[in-house]
Amino acid sequence: PILGIFYFIGFYFIFKFAIMKFNLKTIGREDEEMEKDMMMSSEKTSLSETASKVLEGLGGKDNITYIDACASRLRVNLKQIEFIKSDAYFKNLGASGILRKGNSVQIVFGGLSDNIKMEIDKLM
């Protein structure tokens, strides 16, 4: 147990130094880049506005082949992934994370995911 304490202290300071020195991207330290064309004010937007901006960020309704929502994520299959906007765009809309795999994307909106999906369905 005593040796473990020394290892913990050693690893803690070594990794902290490496992360800070080399600016390694760890969870919670991602770049928060703002798109030039997306300067959102700090005001809260309505759910329908958010849904229309999410739809725009996904490349429009013609780019979506399938959309669904679970408890925390908006799951979307796209025709062309190249039309999707940057992660910063969706984070400005309230997303806490974006996962991309192939032509599908999952946007984490938390409890609002199902509501946003219903609003997007109305727009399509």
| Domain locations in the chain as residue ranges | 1-31, 45-124
Which pLDDT tens digit goes with each residue over 5-30?
A: 999 999 999 999 999 998 887 777 76
Cα distances (angstroms) measured from residue 114 to each of 11, 47, 51, 73, 83: 42, 11, 11, 8, 23
Active site residue: 70, 118, 123, 124, which one? 70
Domain 45-124 falls under CATH 3.30.450.20: no
- CA nearest to 54, candidates 3, 9, 115: 115
Q: How many residues does the chain have?
A: 124
pTM beyond cutoff 0.85: no
70 part of the active site: yes
Position 115, amino acid: N
How far is 32 from 39, CA to CA, in rounded Å? Answer: 13
- Write down the pLDDT at residue 40: 44
